[in-house]
Amino acid sequence: METKPIVTCHGDQSLFSGLHAATLHGLPKEACEWRRSYGRAPRTIHLEASFVPYDADILPDETTKTLVSRPYFHIYWTDCDLESYKQTVREDIAEWHSALKEANIPDWLIVVVINDESKIKSKLLPRSSVIDKVRNDFCSKQADRCIVLSEPMKTDQKTAESWYSFFQRLRQLLLQAFNHHLDKYEDKMRSLREKRNEPGWNYFDYFIFQEELAFMFEMLGLFEDALIQYDELDALFTQFVENHASGDVAEWLTSTIQSCKSWAGLSLYKPIDWLKRDMIKLNKVSLLEFRNYLFSRHSALLFLMNKSWIVAQRAMDFLYNTAQEIHSLEIDIPQGALSCWMFMSCLEVLRACETLPQTTQLDRYSLYTATLRDYARTKLKDLGYLCGLMPGSKPTSEQLSHVVDLSAGMGLDTGEETEAGQVHPRDRLREALSSESSFKKHYLEMCELTMGTYKHISRFRSARILGRDMADFYMKIGEPQKAEGFLLDAIKMYQQENWGNLADGTMLDLAQCLLSMNEVDKYFKTACHIACSCCLKLNDRKEYFKEVLRLASENEGNMYQMRASTVFTLEEANINNSSVILHDDFIVDLTVKSNFPEQVVCNQIEISIIKAGDLGTSPFKRRTHVRNPSLTFKNHEHIPNFRPITKQLPTHIDAHSTYERRNGKVVSCAIGCANAHDLLKRCDSGPVESEIVLKGDYSLCMSVANVTLNPGCNDIQLRVKTEDKGVYRLSQICYKIKQSEFLKSLANCDLHFEVVCNEPYVELKPSKQDNFLAGIQQDAILALHTGSYNIPDGSVITIEFNGNVTILTESGDNSIRIGGIASRQTVEYKLSLYQETKQQVKQTTDVKMSCKVDCWDKIMTCNLSFHHPFQVTHKLHTAKEKKYLQIVVCGNVESEFYLVRPELSCLNCLDLELIPYNKLTQQWRVSFDQSATFLWMIKPNISDLPNLDMCFNFKYTSTLDVSGEQRLFSYICQLEHFQTQYQLSYTVTSDDKTCTTSTPATLTIHVQKAITCSRTDHRLVYQVSVDGTTWALAGKSTGVFNVSEREYETKIDVLPLQSGLLHMPFVNIHQYIDSTDNQTEVWVRKPSDSDTSDVNKPVKDVTRFAPFNTGEVYNNSQCQQVHIYPSLGSLDSELIVIPL
């Protein structure tokens, strides 16, 4: 609507003419907030106005029913001086003001324009006094009704501020004027609506009255508020229609429900159909015409709000409700006229929506337009049946006459309703009904557009249901090759949605389609599916079962092949024995369900067998056998109506190339795809089954012939004789019926068996205990397992060991003569073993036994472990210059061994005596829980002994030794640098003869050279170590000294910190290493206690020393204690426990 609120202008017309353009463009520049009464939400609007000259004849009065054409505001313009004001202007304003007051119009404004303010300031009586006069004369109580506009033709800041104030005042007063008029109008409208149940009330009069309010809101740009007015009118009319249909008759509705003679479709070319509005005023409009006008106004407002998708959404409700109202009011309308009106209205809504940009809400818009297209297609199809235009029928004379009548009621072509290059829906419908070929063209075009829109918005279910109708149409026009694809898509959808009745019902149409195309192979498969369907009638199933048998008999030279899952279902497969001996029969029991309606004879049932290697390295993946349903398509994922089943492929391939160069030459190149995951990604996780069925290799198979299968479950047993060892898997099952084969893969069933050929092996175990023991002769049992092989009579077994093991058999050597032994037998033989025990670090020794049968070309091996019964250790003890050697014999096994005649000898020196401290004639018992200890004193005959190689021998017996002999065990050890070189002693004394706490004491260190000392360098280092809580050192903790003489003595001051019997500070001596010797590096510890460095690092900037070997230094004072008394006056107390 191009109208604007009317504002009248009076006064100096030439003045306003110069300011008209600025006023017209400046008013809507800024938005203003319009607050309405009754607590309604405020609205933000841009005010516009149409400025017209003032005329007293156009002033509204109380009887005016229009809102759009009435003037809302009145302005008086003047730029006069004081004299002119007094002479003429004052009387003109008074006359203008009186006329407004008589018409009860409070909405006016006086504008005083100042063109040159500088001239006025020089006069004694400034022109501004005109404003004072105007305010005193007309605006004494309404100061806001007069405003000054200073120098409006200039562009300075003062002028801009003056214009801003003027527009702000004008917008405020205009909003007040709108409220003034609308409040009165709405009160009248409310009062009129409350009288709707009174006699003589007319809805159409009320419609025109409230529509003025909608026009007003539309004029102000409040399209949503205007739409609300039409929604209220729509709801009120609908309520009247429902009441009238229920018996509450409305007199004004009588003319509307007369016989319908025009069914012109909806027209959205014009925002307002003034001709229809005039007919509404005269109450001469039909129901269809009124509904067309009302919906056109809805659509015009929604288009202005850029919500065309809501127009498409409301269109379906509009069409359904209008058709329902016509039926409920029992309006007489020719047959097919309502379908014509719906078809044309759908196309008109689609045309109007498509002419507007749909950059936003495209998917939502397409959803409703797809529904509209499908609805229009349905109505065109109904008209085709009504007028005899469907394929296969010819229109009669009555139908042709009816087409003429329908075309006449579609309306006349005025030429104003179409744009260049567009065909009006009325003309399109007339063309479609003109002939059968034209109908076919338009119907298929509508179907393709609808299906394309459905697919675009991913409503694949709706698209495939539409495809089902298209398939019927193509079948009727004799083009079955086009119908096949639509039927297959429909069947696939029905099966995925588990709509078995619909899927199998469509199969009947598919069968006729394939028969028309002479696709015998496909027709055979479809006939099998129909014959096995549980959703179809038994008569249809039996009829197609006969077709299956007929085709299978007539197909000479060729073989039909298809999946067996539709016809025969493998309910259960049992393997009696998964491990079969070579040359035995392998048997499998099957439970097969026949879905045919009658008994059928299978010429042969075969199962192909493939060899898969060893079971442990089988390339097949173990799976649980789960019976698959008898459907051609087994993916049960529901088809989403708003998400595609198959992900749309990208529109481009993002490829990139790479090159690898070496030494300036290209050695490799590659082409990659960055969006390969979009191009190659699987859309679901279900298995994709190929339509092509390939028969496997049946060179190795198990079969049974002439099997009669009844409807339901049947038990079948198949067997095959094994010829070669290995792991085999059942690969595929084939049901042969005459010249047809039904195949099913068994790869997912995990049906496998193994043909075994057991290899022979030997076992050797002790006869009386769990483990073999070294050092004794034991009885053993040799177990021979023949496996799948036979041993002839007179064969010989030869036994060998890779270790120092002696074997004795009954023949006296390492061979055993055996008699004839059958396969899968175990025979045991007795023999004895002996392995010599030696000085070992490990407790066991592993050996390998090899057995060979002279009649076989095989070597059988067996691993054995011998446990050593003894573990011997030695330790050197020192008492001043005397040396003692202790030897301990421990048992490693639980069995008892008896030791006798222990002997110790030196292998490399005779200048010493070995004095035993044990009674050598006794017997010692050694086991896992008991050990034997021996001690010898080493008495040298010379002062300086060399390193000694000692040999310890003893003899032992065991009850497990079958020979009963005493056996010898030897143990060899070495003694190095073991003679005493120095004797160390130290004491703690005090001057008072008693040591007390906190009183200094003296630590006397005494080092004496032994008689057997053989060292030439007697430079030593002493080191004192104390516990910081008991002792404190007053001097150095280390010191270098020389024992070139016989003795050395030094004293160190110490301070006891605790009372009681305390261990003396620990003193140790070490060998001194000369710091100038750079070729020797000794690992030492820094003497400082605060040192935190690694103690194992070599230190070169401190005194270096090396420890003595074990036994070279004898410490006389080790573990000695000194009695420390508490000092007088201290708080320490001493407690001494004296044993009784």
Report pLDDT for 360: 61
The whole-angstrom separation of Cα 234 and Cα 402 is 33
Q: What is the mean pLDDT of residues 1111-1138?
A: 74
Question: Considering only 70-74, 730-734, 879-883, 886-890, which range has the smallest mean pLDDT?
Answer: 879-883
In the chain, domain spans: 6-194, 203-412+422-457, 559-645+693-756, 773-825+833-867, 870-975, 982-1125
Residue 812: is its pLDDT beyond 80? no
Report pLDDT for 1090: 39
Chain-centroid distance, C-alpha 795: 68
* Topology at the third CATH level for domain 559-645+693-756: Immunoglobulin-like (2.60.40)
Residues 6 or more apart from 858 whose CB is under 8 A from it?
A: 759, 760, 852
In three-state secondary structure terms, 1080 is coil
* Residue-wise burial string across 479-513, b where 16 or more C-beta atoms lie within 10 A, e elsewhere: bbeebbebbbbbbbbbbbeebeebbbbbbebbbbb
Residue 124: is its pLDDT beyond 80? no
- E strands in 978-1030: 982-989, 995-996, 1001-1009, 1019-1025
Which strands form 826-835's sheet, in the order they lie side by side?
761-766, 777-785, 826-835, 805-808
Report pLDDT for 532: 93
Pick the residue with more confidence: 857 or 238? Answer: 238
Pick the residue with more confidence: 812 or 318? Answer: 318
Within 10 Å of residue 519's Cβ, how many Cβ atoms? Answer: 16
Report pLDDT for 621: 40
Burial class (CB in 10 A: 0-12, 13-18, 19+), 33: exposed
Report pLDDT for 1132: 53
Q: What is the DSSP string of 781-826?
A: EEEEE-TT--B-TTEEEEEEESSSEEEE-TTSSSEEEE--B-TT-E
pLDDT range class, residue 841, cuts 50, 70, 90: low
Pick the residue with more confidence: 4 or 788? Answer: 4
Report pLDDT for 825: 85
pTM here? 0.61
The whole-angstrom separation of Cα 333 and Cα 403 is 14
In three-state secondary structure terms, 515 is helix
Radius of gyration of the chain (CA): 60
Report pLDDT for 651: 57
Report pLDDT for 911: 87
* Mean pLDDT, the chain, integer: 84
CATH hierarchy code of domain 870-975:
2.60.40.1230
User: In the chain, what's the furthest Cα-to-Cα distance?
Assistant: 167
Q: What is the mean pLDDT of residues 105-125?
A: 71
Residues 6 or more apart from 313 whose CB is under 8 A from it?
A: 368
Report pLDDT for 653: 72
Q: What is the mean pLDDT of residues 168-185?
A: 91
The whole-angstrom separation of Cα 273 and Cα 294 is 10
Residue 978: is its pLDDT beyond 90? no
* Range list of H helices, 247-388: 274-281, 287-304, 308-328, 337-354, 362-386
Question: Considering only 332-341, 360-369, 399-408, 717-726, which range has the smallest mean pLDDT?
Answer: 360-369
CATH hierarchy code of domain 6-194:
3.40.50
Q: What is the mean pLDDT of residues 948-957?
A: 92
Query: Which of 33-42, 643-652, 997-1006 has the largest mean confidence?
Result: 997-1006
- Count of alpha carbons within 13 angstroms of residue 210, beta-carbon side: 23
Share of the chain above pLDDT 70, in %: 88
CATH 2.60.40 fits 982-1125, yes or no: yes
Residue 128: is its pLDDT beyond 60? no
Residue 880: is its pLDDT beyond 70? yes
Report pLDDT for 1075: 61
Q: What is the mean pLDDT of residues 459-483?
A: 92
Residue 629: is its pLDDT beyond 70? no
Q: What is the mean pLDDT of residues 784-809?
A: 83
Task: Output the CA angle 734-529-467, nearest 5 degrees.
Answer: 135
- 679-725 confidence digits (pLDDT tens): 655 444 444 455 567 888 999 999 999 999 999 999 999 999 888 88
Q: What is the DSSP string of 413-473?
A: --SSS--TT---HHHHHHHHTT-HHHHHHHHHHHHHHHHHHHHHTT-HHHHHHHHHHHHHH
pLDDT range class, residue 417, cuts 50, 70, 90: low
Report pLDDT for 127: 43
- 498-509 confidence digits (pLDDT tens): 898 999 999 999
Answer yes or no: same fold for 6-194 and 559-645+693-756. Answer: no
pLDDT range class, residue 36, cuts 50, 70, 90: confident
Report pLDDT for 688: 46
Pick the residue with more confidence: 224 or 1036? Answer: 224
**CB of 146 within 8 A of CB of 139?**
yes
Q: What is the mean pLDDT of residues 47-56?
A: 90
pLDDT range class, residue 485, cuts 50, 70, 90: very high
Q: What is the mean pLDDT of residues 109-124?
A: 67
Report pLDDT for 1083: 41
Q: From 1117, 1121, 1123, 1119, select the one nearest 1135 (Cα to Cα).
A: 1123
Residue 132: is its pLDDT beyond 60? yes
